[in-house]
Amino acid sequence: MEHGTREETSAAPGARPIAAVLAVKGLADAKTRLSPVVPADARRALVLAMMSDTITAARAAGVGDIVVVTPDPEVSATARRLGARVVADTPADAADPVTSSLNRALARGIDAAIGTDGARVVVLQADLPALRAPHLGAALVRADGHRQAIVPDRSGSGTAMLIVGDTSDITPRFGVGSARAHRDAGAVDLVADSGDLWPDLRTDVDTVDDLAAAMTLGVGRATAQVLADVGLGSLASTPTPHAS
Ligand SMILES: Nc1nc2c(ncn2[C@@H]2O[C@H](COP(=O)(O)OP(=O)(O)OP(=O)(O)O)[C@@H](O)[C@H]2O)c(=O)[nH]1
Ligand SMILES: C=C(OP(=O)(O)O)C(=O)O
């Protein structure tokens, strides 16, 4: 089945509406840890492609409202083409001495997202190129009723997704060790008892190893195209086609 298509939709009937927030920093500074294998121009294209595949999968999972927070005009244009709303992060976000610029940007996006229909909000990493709609849908169903919930990344220390059910507390705690920080703040870990659940949802791509892991799972169409263009098909030995 096609990656991230509407046919894969598995949003729960009757569940509260959910809006998604993604943050993407300026393309010139993005994904520096991939520089050993991805040249600068291709890194820019890869960031846009991974965001596109993430948004496509989120839409296929039934997420109607998608907010992208970014200071970057190219990211903004791509996000708008995909029907997302864009919120600009500002130099003031970067200058805040207490909260990281990422969390400032995300808080701004969450604020914008909860303006719509009293929706729950899911903060999704923007670099989930292997994300499959049924798994995101299942995670959203499992999170229903929790004040906050997380899906840790594949390393276990970061956060691939934060679901904010109680929008009176919207503090994101992304950054080094964020899975623990979110759990300590009361978020339920949705994969605590089943660490091998939803590997696609847990594979945000920061390092070359992450990229290879995502390729093994099978990446979405936009990411696959960029990787093919730069001849990176051999990073992972045998990409596995998606099971339905
Ligand atoms: N809008 C916004 N997004 C950010 C900011 N800082 C980080 N991000 C995004 O948050 C995610 C994690 O960021 P990082 O791990 O710091 O950066 P990265 O581009 O993924 O990778 P490296 O350059 O290799 O560290 C990425 O999707 C970034 O684009 C910020 O200040 N504003
Ligand atoms: C900011 C985070 O992720 P990354 O690994 O992309 O920096 C995080 O997991 O909290």
Closest-lying ligand 2 atom to the alpha carbon of residue 157: 9
Which helix (H) or strand (E) element contains residue 103?
Answer: helix 101-113
ipTM of the complex model: 0.97
Instruction: Flag whether 238 is in a domain.
Output: no
How is the chain split among helix, strand and coil, in percent rounded to 5? 40, 15, 45
Grouping H, G, I as helix, E, B as strand and the rest as coil, residue 188 is strand
Report if residue 128 sits inside a domain.
yes
Atom of ligand 2 nearest to the CA of 102: 1
- Domain assignment of residue 81, given as a range: 6-229
Residue at 115 is within a domain: yes
State the ligand closest to the CA atom of 172.
Answer: 2
Residue 85 lies in a domain: yes
What is the 55 CA–ligand 2 centroid distance (Å)?
Answer: 18
Domains: count for the chain: 1
Is 225 a member of any domain? yes
Q: Is residue 118 part of a domain?
A: yes
Ligand nearest the Cα of residue 154 is 2
pLDDT tens digit sequence for 98-154: 567 899 999 999 999 987 566 789 999 999 999 999 999 999 999 988 999 999 999
Which CATH number is 156's domain given? 3.90.550.10
What is the residue with the minimal CA distance to atom 2 of ligand 2? Answer: 175
Per the domain annotation, does 240 fall within a domain? Answer: no
Residue 206 CA to ligand 1 centre (angstroms): 9
Question: Helices 40-60 and 133-143 sit at what angle, rounded to 10 degrees?
Answer: 60
Beta bridge partners of 221: none
Let me know if residue 236 belongs to a domain. Answer: no
